[in-house]
């Protein structure tokens, strides 16, 4: 009698034929398992396009593997564990193998269930390599990690070990405000929904939000490769200069919109970075755009991944500023807001399940930070609401970067700012009911009032931070601090009530 087939269990963010658990397999030597957890689907108020992306990518990948000749078991179950047990019982499986998941709890779950794991190959820097880099250092920052990555991966490097272009970082060329020329931004293909997509849309139930899927997000590797080509050919070149700019009528500008594809496995960060570097070598994109993009992919993204594993589990529960406000109804779509910047960012999110990094950090994150929104609630909302959301992405970005809930472990000072930054980098303030320069009075910009109130409210927690000295001194010098704080308390009440 032949031995029973091994099962290879593929998780929802491992959608690639080259994942470590699958790359050397062929039809006939294993059975493939996909499980959809009903508990996971019910655990959050998911954005419709986020829910659809994962379920559709899994179903399309299952169909591709079936077409290749694999026996595939796709099942829905109350939990992932229940699905695995039902599969093991039905097929009398003795060995189940999976690639290490991208989450702390997922890793613990596989261990609990007795699943053998192989190392995850979806990143350029493994958790072990990151630990080796970080361990000898007393302090560490992304820029050092990025240079280490560039060097060891040999991306955009000269033969003598110097960075191409003579500098590691061209960021100062990438902070242009929105252009005033009314230019057209690169277009992206919206992929036609097929019968798998339609069935998933028709089957959707529960408390969901956001617009219905319309094919913006690649659900197959072929679609993701097309999106990558479109970015390299049309958007990489103009990407850099205006990567921090915000426009109400334009949700993506020249951003790559590749993060969802990388985060569920359809694209590998190595091939994405190499495609950009190749465009530079061919003379098709300027150094500031290519270097800025490569830094996002092999620097920031991998740094966040490394820190997630380095600092968890305690890190995700940190709340250094004791922030306890709920996520504002203006964010969740449960209330309209007159804040033009927030309104347009939420509109982008509702329509596409996506906003670019500056809208996340300097509008949503900044308001949540200065208003004192609870970091775990904010993280949970962002995880459910963005197509590229995942715990490993959201924990460092929200707990560390945006909300300073780690007390400065990741970012040396809070990313708090008043309306001036948004006024400079967006076209929103002109038509807004509020005035970015005012901190008191009825039409004071909520960001500006809250910024000063945030400094005053958290003075004790921040005064030991030498990088905050100037800002705290500025706050102490304000002659109208009391009136500003009174206005801030009105702003906070209106924010909670959904009337701001």
Stretch that binds ligand SF4, among 30-38, 49-57, 189-197, 441-449 (CB under 6 A): 441-449
Stretch that binds ligand SF4, among 71-79, 127-135, 421-429, 485-493 (CB under 6 A): 421-429
Burial class (CB in 10 A: 0-12, 13-18, 19+), 348: buried
Stretch that binds ligand SF4, among 129-137, 144-152, 442-450, 477-485 (CB under 6 A): 442-450
**What is the spatial distance between Cα 295 and Cα 291, in angstroms, rounded to a whole number?**
6
| Interface characters, 447-466, with ligand SF4 (x: CB under 6 A) | x-------------------
Do 288 and 241 form a contact (C-beta atoms < 8 A)?
A: yes
328 in contact with ligand SF4 (CB under 6 A): no
423 in contact with ligand SF4 (CB under 6 A): yes
What lies within 8 Å, CB to CB, of 449 at 6+ separation is 439, 440, 484, 487, 488, 491
445 in contact with ligand SF4 (CB under 6 A): yes
**Residue keyed to tokens 């009903």:** 38
User: Considering beta carbons, is residue 264 or 339 the nearer one to ligand SF4?
Assistant: 339
- Provide the edge-to-edge strand list for the sheet that holds 6-9: 71-77, 30-37, 6-9, 96-99, 116-118
**Residue keyed to tokens 């089957």:** 203
Stretch that binds ligand SF4, among 207-215, 279-287, 304-312, 339-347 (CB under 6 A): 339-347
User: Considering beta carbons, is residue 383 or 447 the nearer one to ligand SF4?
Assistant: 447
Stretch that binds ligand SF4, among 75-83, 165-173, 375-383, 417-425 (CB under 6 A): 417-425
User: Considering beta carbons, is residue 236 or 422 the nearer one to ligand SF4?
Assistant: 422
Structure tokens at 20: 């470590």
Smallest distance, Å, CB 368 to ligand SF4? 14
Structure tokens at 44: 């959050």
Closest CA to 375 of 417, 341, 405, 412: 405
432 in contact with ligand SF4 (CB under 6 A): yes
**How big is the chain, counted in residues?**
500
Closest CA to 273 of 251, 295, 252: 295
**What is the spatial distance between Cα 147 and Cα 164, in angstroms, rounded to a whole number?**
12
Q: Pick the binder of ligand SF4 from 429, 455, 462, 492 (CB under 6 A).
A: 429
User: Considering beta carbons, is residue 32 or 339 the nearer one to ligand SF4?
Assistant: 339
User: Considering beta carbons, is residue 101 or 436 the nearer one to ligand SF4?
Assistant: 436
Smallest distance, Å, CB 423 to ligand SF4? 6
Closest CA to 297 of 119, 141, 125: 125
Do 389 and 209 form a contact (C-beta atoms < 8 A)?
A: no
341 in contact with ligand SF4 (CB under 6 A): yes
Smallest distance, Å, CB 434 to ligand SF4? 4
Q: Which residues bind ligand SF4 (CB under 6 A)?
A: 339-341, 419, 422-423, 428-429, 432, 434, 436, 445-447
């Amino acid at each position: 009698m032949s031995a029973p087939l091994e099962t290879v269990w593929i998780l929802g963010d491992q959608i690639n034929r080259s994942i470590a658990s699958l790359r050397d397999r062929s039809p006939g030597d294993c059975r493939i398992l996909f499980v959809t957890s009903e508990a996971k689907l019910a655990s959050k108020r998911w954005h419709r396009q986020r829910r659809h992306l994962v379920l559709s990518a899994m179903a399309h990948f299952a169909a591709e593997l079936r077409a290749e000749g694999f026996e595939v078991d796709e099942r829905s179950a109350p939990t992932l564990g229940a699905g695995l047990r039902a599969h093991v019982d039905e097929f009398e499986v003795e060995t189940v193998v999976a690639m290490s998941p991208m989450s702390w709890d997922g890793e613990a779950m596989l261990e609990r269930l007795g699943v053998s794991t192989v190392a995850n190959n979806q990143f350029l820097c493994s958790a072990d390599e990151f630990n080796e880099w970080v361990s000898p250092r007393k302090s560490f920052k992304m820029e050092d990690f990025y240079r280490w990555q560039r060097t060891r991966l040999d991306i955009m490097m000269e033969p003598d070990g110097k960075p191409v272009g003579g500098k590691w970082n061209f960021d100062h060329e990438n902070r242009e405000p929105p252009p005033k020329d009314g230019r057209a931004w690169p277009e992206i293909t919206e992929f036609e929904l097929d019968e798998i997509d339609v069935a998933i849309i028709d089957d959707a139930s529960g408390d969901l939000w956001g617009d219905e899927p319309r094919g913006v997000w690649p659900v197959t590797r072929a679609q993701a490769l097309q999106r990558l080509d479109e970015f390299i050919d049309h958007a990489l070149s103009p990407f850099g200069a205006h990567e921090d700019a915000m426009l109400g009528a334009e949700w993506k500008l020249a951003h790559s919109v590749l993060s969802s594809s990388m985060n569920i496995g359809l694209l590998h960060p190595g091939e994405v970075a190499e495609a950009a570097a190749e465009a530079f070598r061919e003379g098709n994109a300027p150094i500031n755009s290519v270097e800025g993009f490569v830094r996002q992919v092999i620097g920031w993204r991998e740094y966040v991944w490394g820190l997630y594993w380095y600092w968890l589990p305690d890190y995700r529960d940190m709340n250094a500023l004791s922030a306890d406000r709920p996520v504002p109804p203006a964010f969740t779509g449960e209330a309209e807001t007159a804040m033009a910047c927030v309104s347009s960012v939420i509109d982008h999110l509702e329509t596409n399940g996506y906003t670019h990094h500056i809208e996340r950090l300097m509008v949503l994150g900044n308001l949540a930070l200065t208003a004192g929104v609870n970091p775990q609630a904010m993280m949970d909302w962002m995880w459910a609401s963005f197509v590229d959301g995942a715990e490993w992405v959201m924990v460092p970005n929200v707990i560390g970067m945006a909300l300073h809930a780690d007390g400065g472990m990741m970012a040396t000072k809070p990313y708090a700012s008043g309306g001036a930054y948004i006024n400079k980098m967006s076209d929103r303030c002109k038509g807004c009911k509020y005035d970015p320069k005012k901190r008191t009075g009825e039409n004071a910009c909520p960001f500006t009032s809250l910024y000063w109130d945030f400094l005053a409210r958290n003075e004790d927690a921040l005064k030991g931070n030498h990088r905050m000295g100037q800002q705290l001194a500025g706050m102490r010098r304000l002659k109208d601090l009391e009136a500003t704080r009174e206005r801030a308390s009105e702003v906070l009440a209106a924010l909670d009530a959904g009337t701001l």
